[in-house]
Structure 1
């Protein structure tokens, strides 16, 4: 399936899609030193959230999809050098709203989970 949304996203910072189907995506992010929050190698949570957001956008896969809200939990810390895999699944469609469940893991360890509310607009949010 072709990805038709978020065409200019930096895969280096938000992840690389490895599977895309109707209502589902899997995206992998290899964490790097530039994502570190401090000298211990803790990856800033914003990069983990960016991965989850990108996975959700691809699961919806519409050119005018935007994030409207999120209820998320950061479950475990991520260290520089780990690869995180996010799985996003559309769980509900109601009008323009899509609820997307996203989980992310580093190997077998779940590091993130959340429900993202996405909206499919009639036109681009900036036009």
Structure 2
């Protein structure tokens, strides 16, 4: 990406952050080939808050659209949710989540992240997992960030077919197909 004039850079910067609010100032600095302080100045002029505040705002919007489970029941940080369509969450693998000898995540953490994301996609006050066809493709190590993406493939009455994949650095580590049941009350 070549250098931009100030006005053009600010316009493109605003568009980039509108599309993906999770860019750090350092990443933007590299992308636009300017200093971090220039990026901060540009954000200030555009009225765009720092990453921490942008993340908080996005999280509030996303979590407020949860229907089928409580925000405390979701495993991982919800990044995107369009109920009945698609969702994305992130889970950083911490010391308490790994097997002590192998230093890899216990499978139930990855399953819980994927399962809770699938349930979050159901457009009902409550949802239950009917069945899951799941494959673990490689272990996830301590410190890695598991990014789960879910998509509703089909819906028929109170039944949802949801596909969830979990990636680490764009390498697929888990793939599953869920059948979920929406329960009204």
Scaled by the length of structure 1, the TM-score of the pair is: 0.88
Partner of 2:78: 17
After TM superposition, the runs of 4+ consecutive aligned structure 1 residues lying more than 6 A away are none
2:63 paired with 1:6: no
Q: Cα RMSD (Å) of the superposition?
A: 1.5
- Unaligned regions of 5+ residues in structure 1, if any? none
- Name which structure has the greater RCO, CA cutoff 8 Å, separation 6+: 1
Task: Select the residue among 146, 149, 156 that pairs with 1:94.
Answer: 156
Pairwise mapping of residues 42-121 of structure 1 onto structure 2 (< 5 A)?
A: 42-121=104-183
- Give me the TM-score of the superposition, normalised by structure 2: 0.62
Q: 1:88 to 1:47 in 2, by over 3 A?
A: same
Which structure dedicates a bigger proportion of its chain to helix?
2
Aligned length: 121
Q: For structure 2, which runs of at least 5 residues remain unmatched after alignment? A: 1-61
**Alpha-carbon deviation of 1:109?**
1.1
Q: Indicate the structure with greater strand content.
A: 1
Q: Based on CA coordinates, which of the two structures has the bigger radius of gyration? A: 2
